[in-house]
Amino acid sequence: MRRLEADFAAQLAAVRPDLSAAYAAALPGARAAVLGRLWRGLLYEPLPGLAAGSGGRSGEPAVVPPPGREAKVLLSGGRGLAGRARSPYDLDGEPCLWLDGRPHTHPAELLSALDLPGTARLIEDLDNSVASLALSRAGALARPHSVPSGAVDHEQDVVDGHPYHPGCRNRPGISVAEQLAYMPEHHPVVPLDLVALPAAECLVTGPWPDALTEGDRLLLPVHPWQTRHVLPALGLRPYATGALPARPLMSARTLAPLDGGPHVKTALSTRLTSGVRDISPGSVRDCLALSHLLTTLSARRGGRPRIVRYLAGAAARVRGEPSADVSALLREPSPRNAIPVAAITRAPSGEPDRWLAAFARLALTDTLDLLALGVALEAHGQNLLVVPGHDGSPARLVYRDLADIRISPARLDRNGIERPPVSARLLTDDPEVLHAKLFGSLVGTTFGSLISQFGQGDRTAESRLWAVVAGAARDAFDRLPATPDVRTDRAALFGPYLRVKGHLLARLDDAPAGDSWVDLHNPLAAFA
């Protein structure tokens, strides 16, 4: 047991000894799950210190390997790492990898032994991810099984986090007791605090609700982790503690109040997965303009997809400037019967081909139409939700969390749509950036994970399911006017390579801020 795993075990023995045995039993599976994600990255991302591998260290993306074949990665010093061949979309874990013939079962131990440059913080991420994932799985095993009765239940049933990110449960700075109290997979009720601030000294966008106002003061919801770990250094303390009980959604920092009303997106200034989850002043300023743009575009398409709007945003001024650490966004609740795609582990209808065909028609028609108009959504399984029809098949698509979309001013202009007053980081006319944002998330994560779950490692079945997606994409493009933008989008979606996020590259010690990208062979290219 590594140091952090032992530290988690000691904390758990103090606060929830009834989970200690389940945590110990969950550790091998958690190590294998994170090791599988790490192996995917080592195979397909051009990390410094790797000379060659099935991922093509020269920059040539890897071809999906046949099942059962061994894959190897060569290090620049001549050493070799071997394991099972895997597609970049496979979801299963890896119980063991072999470095120069020596077995390694722990991802952090393996990465340390590889001695690749710039991986110190990534090794810490892997240790955190393993320990937290084992805790998450232990908590899930201890809960009585129940059928989800609403959207929040579905969200909280997602235990393992991001399907491809090695830091899928990376939560540094959050103790075992705090994870049990605040993280969604543990099904807690989180008592949000309220900080009272002079409204005139806050950055406010939209109509702030009367229920969160007292005279000339704004009552800003604050996550209790933030109250404990961040507010004291800013000279702030709560006006009321535990005043707004709420259930956390998949993102952990967005919560659904028990008494209904808007969902609350809070600042949680620690690293979850790979990003610090504060709320920038730019996001507060942009929230209503983004909501207006997306709902306007949706209305042009008959209300599809359904956009979950931001209603208001606020940030306190600390030392004269709006603070990303003391801020909140209020968002419409998702439809009660909407299910996040990340929560779908099997076809609800029992017929994966039929379910996937219905979902692909919705997802591709809606997102490609919006792309043609000028907006690329980040369409991964946390932001995309489906409303099922009477037979369980997807009947409507819902999209939420607008902060990371990309907008093409030129495309908006060509479609007669007014350019929104939003931050410059959201604006680009570069088709490669637009395509990476939409296709990398929708194909690289959402369809990839669904097809891997439905196909269960059967490459023939997976190919059949990719053909279903390709057919839906062709139909969606055929319904669009053959403008130069649409032709460019079609060529990219069926092109030889697909640009996706490089999860390991982004966490190297000297990685630049923002996303890193890698090119993979496109599973849709065979169906062009």
Tokens 């929230």 belong to 287
Averaged over 352-364, what is the pLDDT?
A: 97
CB 287 within 8 A of CB 421: no
Averaged over 80-95, what is the pLDDT?
A: 95
What does the pLDDT look like over 129-138, one tens digit per residue?
999 999 999 9
Averaged over 291-314, what is the pLDDT?
A: 97
Closest by CA position to 33, among listed 89, 93, 109, 87: 93
Averaged over 478-491, what is the pLDDT?
A: 98
Strand partners for 81 = 73, 99
Is the pLDDT confidence value at 201 over 80? yes
The residues spanned by each domain of the chain are 3-156, 189-331, 339-493
What does the pLDDT look like over 252-270, one tens digit per residue?
999 999 999 999 999 999 8
- Top-confidence residue, 74 or 58: 74
**Alpha carbon of 469 to those of 24, 84, 381, 527: distances in Å?**
40, 27, 16, 9
- pLDDT band of 205, cuts 50, 70, 90: very high
Q: State residue 142's pLDDT score.
A: 85
Strand partners for 34 = none
- pLDDT band of 273, cuts 50, 70, 90: confident
Mean pLDDT (the chain) is: 94
Is the pLDDT confidence value at 284 over 70? yes
**Alpha carbon of 100 to those of 73, 111, 142: distances in Å?**
11, 14, 39
Q: State residue 350's pLDDT score.
A: 79
- CATH class assigned to 339-493: mainly alpha
Question: What's the half-sphere exposure (Cβ side, CA atoms, 13 Å) at 514?
Answer: 7
Q: State residue 58's pLDDT score.
A: 43
What does the pLDDT look like over 383-420, one tens digit per residue?
999 999 988 899 999 999 999 999 999 999 999 999 99
CB 43 within 8 A of CB 166: no
The proportion of the chain whose per-residue pLDDT surpasses 70, expressed as a percent, equals 97
The proportion of the chain whose per-residue pLDDT surpasses 90, expressed as a percent, equals 88
Averaged over 73-90, what is the pLDDT?
A: 92
